[in-house]
Amino acid sequence: MSDNTINIKDLPPLDRMTTYRMSKEMSICLWLFIIYMFYMFLVPVLTFTTPDLMKSRIWGGMSLTWFMTAIGAMIMAFAIAAVHVYFYTKDFYISEKVSEKKSEGAGM
């Protein structure tokens, strides 16, 4: 192990900007993760515990559980990732504008 270690109790706090960025991104990630995992675990749990509901037909012979597993999950995967990238991009452009304004102010 490297000798250059420090006890976590003596570690100085992170700078405000990084703490803000991390906490903001983490909160978005966690919310998306919770929503996504809720869906992913809900499908098998409902399928095993409420078979009557999950056997209901929604398109010809396609049951609700078949739709949620074979089609809904794929749409959900893309939607969660797309929402995440949307928030990231929005935040990225805001950060860029703030930086541009700061550099314009410094140049005046």
Partner 1 sequence: MELMEPKYLFTIILLLTIITITFATQRYTRSTVNFYVAGRSFGWVMNGSAIAGDYLSAATFLGLAGLTFAFGYDGIFYTFCFSAGLTLLTVFVAGPLRRFGAYTVPDFLAQRFHSKRARLVAVIVVLAISGFYAAPQILGAAAILKMFFGTTYKFGVIFTVIVMVFYVGVGGMKGTTINQALEIWIRFGAFIILFAIAIAAGHNYGKILDLLVSFKGAIPDTAAAAASGKAIMHNGPVWEWPGGYLFKTLPSTISILFGLVFGTLGLPHILLRFYTNPSAKEARYSGLFAIGIASAFFILALYLGTVGRAVYVEGGLLPHIVKNFTTGGTNMVIPTLAEALGGKWLLGIVVAGAFAAVFSNLSGLFIASTGALGHDIYSHFINTNATEKQKVSAARWSTVLCGIFYGALGLMVEKLAIGMLVGLAFNVAASTFAPIFVLGIWWRGMTEKGAIAGMLVGLLSSLYFIFLPSLVPEAIRYPVPGLFTVPLGFLAVYIVSKLDGMVPADVNDFMVKIHSKEVV
Chain residues in the site for partner 1 (CB under 8 A): 1-2, 4-9, 11-12, 14-15, 17-18, 21-22, 25-26, 29, 32-33, 36, 40-41, 43-45, 47-49, 51, 55, 59-63, 65-66, 69-71, 73-75, 77-78, 80-82, 84-85, 88-89, 92, 95-96, 99
Q: Using the minimum distance from each CB to partner 1, give the nearer residue, 16 or 108.
A: 16
Give the position of tokens 């893309």.
Answer: 78
β partners of residue 57: 63
Residue closer to partner 1 (CB basis): 99 or 105:
99
> Which pair of structure tokens corresponds to residue 88?
């990231």
The smaller minimum CB distance to partner 1, of residues 48 and 101, is found at: 48
DSSP letter string over 29-74? HHHHHHHHHHHHHHHHHHHHH-HHHHT-EEETTEEHHHHIIIIIHH
